[in-house]
Amino acid sequence: MSADRRSLGVMIAGAAAFFDLYAPQAILPQLAETFRISAHAAGWVVTVTTLAVALVGPFAGALADALGRQRLIAASALMMALPTMLVATSTSLGEMLIWRAAEGLLMPLVFCVTVAYIGEEWETGEARAITALYMAGAVAGGFLGRFVTGVLTDIAGWRLAFVGLGAINLGIGVSLFYLLPRERSFVASNGLGAALLAMLGHLRRPRMLAACGVGFLILFAQVALFTYATLLLAAPPYDLRPALLASVSAVYLLGMVTTPIAGHRLRRFGERVPLSAGAALFIAGVGLTLLPSLPAIVAGLAVASAGTFLSQSAATSFVAANANNARSAAIGVYTMFYYVGGSVGAVAPGAAWHVAGWQGIAALLIAANLAALVIAVSGWRTRTTAASAATATEAEARCSGVAGVVVGAQ
């Protein structure tokens, strides 16, 4: 099989991993109207999926160690078509949550296993370039999921939008069976018990817990930012339709630029400086969104997203550099905390929204980033050595999909 075909397969796998994760984010007002609930309650369609990812993500690698790579990636992407289409049949919020949770259970079997597949099937030098392609696909998938959902909802309603998403999932799954060759370097193992023990060991390490706390706050803030910005922009005086709301998520494409820059800064400065810069950018972006101007709000979302990418790269690099052993287990623990943070960020800020509107959300987001900064400054005291930083940068590149790539994952 040609190298170009394999590379295309990896890009498509990256897109598949995050295509559905936050797809409903731009249509929360429409879902609220259909089910006669508050828009903030509609945020559960995001929360339940990220919770499912958080539950399965840490163990997806161990499952793939027993079952193999290529077939699991392609079959999981293909199976996502069914719950995605069934979302369209939902007659209540409860039904929709069931199908959205089913999607979340399958997603880690695509993104976690694809990262492992890249690490095994390409030499180290090639793996970096292939990982960059994977990350580009992941960023594009995160944007396209939102964009396609918003556009189709404007044209035909949200139910047919999910039918369309499911059809795309079907095509992606079939294509991955064709584009990704069967693994050549895979050796089956039964490592679930060992993975559990390693994860428990990492949970007893204060430095790792500090990194997990930072990860929780990073995705909490990013998901809250875009979930409640959607509600802000859907209401007067902006009154944006779903297609335009989805277009705002184009700011995620900044991740294709920000992540490589973050890698260079990590090698030079370690993790605390880029994380501090990321938090500062996020806070500045949130400040811009307080201006009563649509261009200022969109610019603020872009600046804040750039800050999130920078902070996320620093956090995953720190985890990889400071996991003395069982690095995959360390990334698994981080992934769990990271996505739980995203789950909480979709619904918990609802109280601030009801009490103080967007100003309340902005204050909460700023507080979350300041808390992440305090944790990093106090808990990441020892700067990594040049050797470990180089190792961390490579590990971060390979694991950034696992940790969210901030992607569509945000």
Q: What is the pLDDT of residues 152-203, one digit of tens each?
A: 999 999 999 999 999 999 999 999 999 998 877 666 555 667 667 777 787 8
Q: Which residues contact 219 (CB under 8 A, 6 or more apart)?
A: 338, 339, 341, 342, 345, 404, 409, 410
pLDDT for residue 327? 64
Any domain includes 267: yes
List the one residue out of 356, 316, 137, 321 whose CA is nearest residue 232.
356
pLDDT confidence band for 253 (50 / 70 / 90): confident
Nearest to 53 by CA among 15, 109, 99: 109
Q: What is the pLDDT of residues 254-264, one digit of tens each?
A: 766 766 665 55
Query: Looking at 100-212, which runs of residues are DSSP E strands?
Result: none
Q: What is the pLDDT of residue 302?
A: 94
Helix axes 3-19, 108-121, angle to 10 degrees: 150
Q: What is the pLDDT of residue 401?
A: 41
% of the chain surpassing 90 pLDDT: 56
Asked if residue 409 belongs to a domain, the reply is no
Cα 400 from Cα 135, distance rounded (Å)? 8
**Separation CA 171–CA 302 (nearest Å):** 31
| Dihedral over Cα of 229, 231, 233, 238: its sign | negative
Give φ, ψ of 381 to 5 degrees: -75, -35
55: domain range?
3-182+198-403
CA atoms within 13 A on the CB side of 201: 15
Exposed, middle or buried, 223 (CB in 10 Å: 0-12/13-18/19+)?
Answer: buried
- Residue 114, pLDDT > 70, answer yes
Phi, psi of 90 (to 5 degrees): -60, 130
Q: Which of 320, 308, 314, 218 is nearest to 275 (CA)?
A: 314
* pLDDT-derived band at 136, boundaries 50, 70, 90: confident
Cβ–Cβ < 8 Å for 178, 172: no
Task: Report pTM.
Answer: 0.85
- Of 364, 53, 374, 20, whose CA–CA distance to 221 is shortest? 364
Residues 114, 398: contact at Cβ < 8 Å? no
- Which of 210, 205, 202 has its CA nearest to residue 330? 202
- Token representation of residue 123: 């030499």
For 140-156, b/e burial (b = at least 16 CB within 10 A) is: bbbbbbbbbbbbbbbee
Per-residue pLDDT at 4: 80
Q: Let me know if residue 325 belongs to a domain.
A: yes
Residue 201 pLDDT: 80
Instruction: Find which of 181-195, 224-238, 301-315 is predicted with most confidence, using mean pLDDT.
Output: 224-238
Task: Confirm if 195 and 64 have CB atoms less than 8 A apart.
Answer: no
| 345 in Cβ contact with 227 (< 8 Å) | yes
Amino acid at 14: G
Q: Is the pLDDT of residue 387 over 50?
A: no
Q: Residue 301: inside a domain, yes or no?
A: yes
Identify the weakest region by mean pLDDT among 297-306, 370-379, 386-395. Answer: 386-395
Query: Of the given ranges (63-72, 215-224, 341-350), which has the lowest mean pLDDT?
Result: 63-72
CA 65 remoteness from chain centre? 23
CA distance 117 to 102: 23
Whether 408 maps to a domain, the answer reads: no
Q: What is the DSSP letter of 180?
A: S
CATH number at residue 128: 1.20.1250.20
Q: pLDDT: is 386 or 300 the higher one?
A: 300
381/204 Cα distance (integer angstroms): 17
Q: Residue 47 pLDDT > 80, yes or no?
A: yes
Query: Is residue 99 situated within a structural domain?
Result: yes
pLDDT at 209 over 80: yes
Asked if the structure places residue 189 within a domain, the reply is: no
Task: Classify residue 193: in a domain, yes or no.
Answer: no
- Counting the structural domains of the chain, the total is 1
